[in-house]
Structure 1
Amino acid sequence: MKAFISTLLAFDPKQRNLVGGALGVVKGYYGCVEAQGRGTLHCHMLVWVKGGLNPNEIRDGIIRDHDVEFQQRLLSFLDDTISNSIPPDPDPNLSVPASKHHACSVRGADFNLPTDHFVRARRKDMHHLVQRSQQHTHTRTCYKYCKPPQKMVCRFDLDPGNVRPESTVNPETGELCLRCLDGMVNNFNDTMLEAIRCNMDIKFIGSGASAKAILYYITDYITKSQLKTHVAYAALELAVRKLGDYNSNEDEATTRAKCMLQKCAHAMISHQELSAQQVCSYLMDFEDHFTSHLYKNLYWTSFEAFIDDSPDEEVNMAQVQSEGNPEEVSIGVNAQGKLIATCSQVLDYELRGDSFSHVCLWDHTAQVEKVVKKHSKVNDERDKEDAICDNDVLDPAIEVKSLTNEGKTPRTNVTTISMAKLC
């Protein structure tokens, strides 16, 4: 994947590469690694190309501005980048490694061949590669969501009748309809396919219904549960059965409920299936995602709770303070066994100071970074122990407790705050 990003996408973190890769100059990317039902690892990736317009800008250029030249240039770029047909066989008598073996298991044409022979061998290899890796064959999986008397439609939207000789633009809706020369061939980029030599799919997020469908697919895909429903129900049944072994006279109802939840969680985790490829990937410490930018987490629920618990301006603050509601302070234990206070995004924003009073919550989370204030060598080690940032992950073996501190403001770490453009 790293070779794919650096070579085929030609992504330059410093944005000095103006030549670009197979898709043009890449501004950013984000990819997630996932395992199929058979266990094969694959990657879903979003790529942002320099000069690319968002769906609203594309729609305005087509509908509002009626820019015909813009439409033709966009369609020409997409037709040159995305293919969906099997290239013709240049010579039936020509033999290449892909003619005798599976095209995905051998290398492409030999670069040491004479120029004319190399060109024909490369076309022949691409013919076999697309035929073996991109051509779709219907199976029962294609129709698993079709219920009689519904029409049997492939859920991958691949059908011999899905042929469109040329790309068009709907002037009323702004939707881009890309050409499709073979309804049974997945979209591919010839440069990428020749290099990675495995099945791929590539789509353009443009405007109209197709763009909405792709965005829905992405959001639905990344939020789907990794645990199958039947596995979850089986785990719950096993947990309830084990809970029945306890003596009801010995445990309170709340304790029994907590035990059941704990057993359910443990049972669900233990019943998850991992393929050999996933296990090897975890043991080898391979990445499970690839990204070009640094992202910050915004814990929105904590801010919602803060707003809901905050009194209205009309309420007498002295009366509220006299109630003496206890305030929870989360603490943890570091590697040396010392108690340390964990950071709170709500407190960080509430106590951000006058210099950052104009910064909204979103910009504060994305652009403000807390750094340890430099002290003497004696205090420096103490500050490092005290500083636990929001994105740090605590060791599961470390116990995190919640203590009550009535009438006192939790002590915050002595830090300085600096603005930094992170993404």
Structure 2
Amino acid sequence: MITKFFDIVLGTKRASKIGILGKVKGWYAAIEAQIRGSLHGHLLIWIDDAPASPLDMKEQMNSDPEFKQKLAAWYDDIICQSFPKDTVSYKVTEGTPKQLPVLSRPLDPDAPDYKQKRDQHHRDLCENTGLVHGHNATCFKHIPRHIQSLVNPDTDCRFQLPRPLVAETHFDDDDDLVIRCENGSLNGHNPTATLCLGCNTDLKQTASGSAAMAMVEYMGNYTIKLQLDTAIVFSALCASIKALQNKPPQDVDGKVDNSEMTRLMMVKTTNTLVGKRELTGQQTVSLLLGRKNNYTSDEYQEYWWSSM
């Protein structure tokens, strides 16, 4: 599915190379397993012909008002923070089994009432896939317990939700982007992507600079992170130290080789962690089917621990 999403929805295999976000220059997708086991992806997407940096973008906006207007219109077109008009909140008909929108059949685009049903289905998906934020303990976990009784959910949420309502997408006096928002608890998303995938599809604009670097590191961690308890990590480290203390590596003169000991410490600890890595059933099946844990438009040099 993820390759089809890139090929068709993002347009990378179309003749025009244009998809729902415009012309895509490159992408990187990391596949992660949630606590309950299901797999989902985190994607970084680079748009072709985008300004090289936020500074370049601001200079172009200041020198070309038409570019600034078109840029705001583009953001308004691809990022949605509002429910479709003339739709109602999702509800289950009394006396019938609950049918989650994510499990329903695709709508018939040739049906005369397709647009109305599509808009309602869009809202149903938003309300059933986690796109609408609801406060929980995670929102206030950094607030000391002895003052949590004084928490105001709408002002103290660490995710800063609900966000203020905004009538139209624009750039403020500091040239910072402000996306149109008619529902402060609805995460930014692309309706087409949400309808195609039928799942949570948060979408966020990330320019260059420190914010982009942090996002790349965050994404990289999803690719390489090990789902291990802290106790297992420390036990692996202790086992490596004990093994090297009992039989330290020696050089040709019979002295302890500290450089080799450091290398073996890394190798032994890593091997132990890899051996104890917890894989979900979905991850295991995905690997057996030859699926990747990351997808990218570019090729990278593989690195093997055995080369250390």
Measured against the shorter chain, the TM-score band is: 0.7 to 0.9
Match of 2:124 in 1: 128
Match of 2:251 in 1: none
- Structure 1 CA distance, aligned partners of 2:19 and 2:304? 39
**Is contact 2:30-2:219 (8 Å) kept?**
no
Alignment partner, residue 216 of structure 2:
218
Which residue, out of 262, 271, 277, partners 1:272?
277
1:43 aligns with 41
What is the SS of the residue equivalent to 1:25?
A: strand
Cα distance in 2, alignment partners of residues 176 and 235 from structure 1: 47
CA–CA separation in structure 2 for the residues paired with 1:95 and 1:236: 52
- Stretches of structure 2 that go unaligned for 5 or more consecutive residues are 249-253
Query: Which secondary structure does the structure 1 equivalent of 2:18 belong to?
Result: coil
Structure 1 segment 81-160 matched on structure 2, within 5 A: 81-90=78-87, 100-113=98-111, 115=112, 117-133=113-129, 134-147=131-144, 153-155=156-158, 157-160=159-162
Is residue 39–residue 276 contact of structure 1 (8 Å, CA) maintained in 2? yes
Mapped contact 2:267–2:305 kept (Cα < 8 A): no
Q: Distance in 1 between matches of 2:229 and 2:4?
A: 37
Tell whether the 8 Å contact from 1:9 to 1:22 is kept in structure 2 after alignment: yes
**Closer, same or farther: CA 30–221 of 1 in aligned 2, 3 Å:** closer
Name 2:177's counterpart in structure 1. Answer: 176
- The percentage of aligned residue pairs carrying the same residue is 26
By how many angstroms is 1:199 displaced?
Answer: 0.5
**Following TM superposition, by how much is the alpha carbon of 1:103 offset from its aligned partner in structure 2, in angstroms?**
1.0
| Residue-pair matches, total | 287
Q: Which amino acid aligns with 2:282?
A: Q
Deviation at 1:92, TM superposition (A): 8.6
- Report how far residue 32 of structure 1 moved: 2.1
Distance of 1:80 and 1:233 partners within structure 2:
49
TM-score (structure 1 length as normaliser): 0.57
Where in structure 1 are there 5+ consecutive unaligned residues? 298-390, 402-423
**What is residue 50 of structure 2 aligned with on the other side?**
52
In the alignment, structure 1 residue 166 sits paired with structure 2 residue 168: yes
Q: CA–CA distance in 2 between the matches of 1:22 and 1:138? A: 31
Larger Rg: 1
User: Which range moved further: 173-182 or 74-83?
Assistant: 173-182
Matched, 1:8 2:15: no
Q: Is the 8 A contact 1:83 1:190 kept in 2?
A: yes
TM-score by length of 2: 0.76
Q: Is 1:69 matched with 2:71?
A: no
Deviation at 1:241, TM superposition (A): 5.7
- State yes or no: 1:187 paired with 2:184: no
The 5-angstrom pairing of residues 346-365 of structure 1 reads none
Deviation for aligned residue 1:57: 2.1
Question: Which whole-Å CA distance do the structure 2 matches of 1:286 and 1:48 have between them?
Answer: 23
Q: Is the 8 A contact 2:31 2:41 kept in 1?
A: yes
Q: Report the Cα distance in structure 2 between the residues aligned to 1:81 and 1:143, rounded to whole angstroms.
A: 31
Give RMSD over aligned pairs.
3.8
> Could you tell me which residue of structure 2 aligns to residue 291 of structure 1?
296
Alpha-carbon displacement from aligned partner over 1:168-206 (angstroms, at most 9, x marks no partner): 3134x4322222222211111111110100001111224
Q: Any conservation in 1 of the 2:25–2:46 contact (CA below 8 Å)? A: yes
CA distance in 2, matches of 1:40, 1:29: 22
Higher relative contact order (CA 8 A, sep 6+): 2
Report the Cα offset of residue 23 of structure 1: 1.3
Matched AA of 1:141: T
Tell me, yes or no, if the aligned pair for 2:30 and 2:43 is still in contact at 8 Å. yes
Mark the CA change 1:146 to 1:36 in structure 2 (over 3 Å): closer, same or farther.
Answer: farther
The 1-side partners of 2:213 and 2:163 are apart by 25
Kindly state the Cα deviation for residue 240 of structure 1 after the two structures are TM-superposed.
Answer: 4.6
Aligned-residue offset at 1:138:
2.3
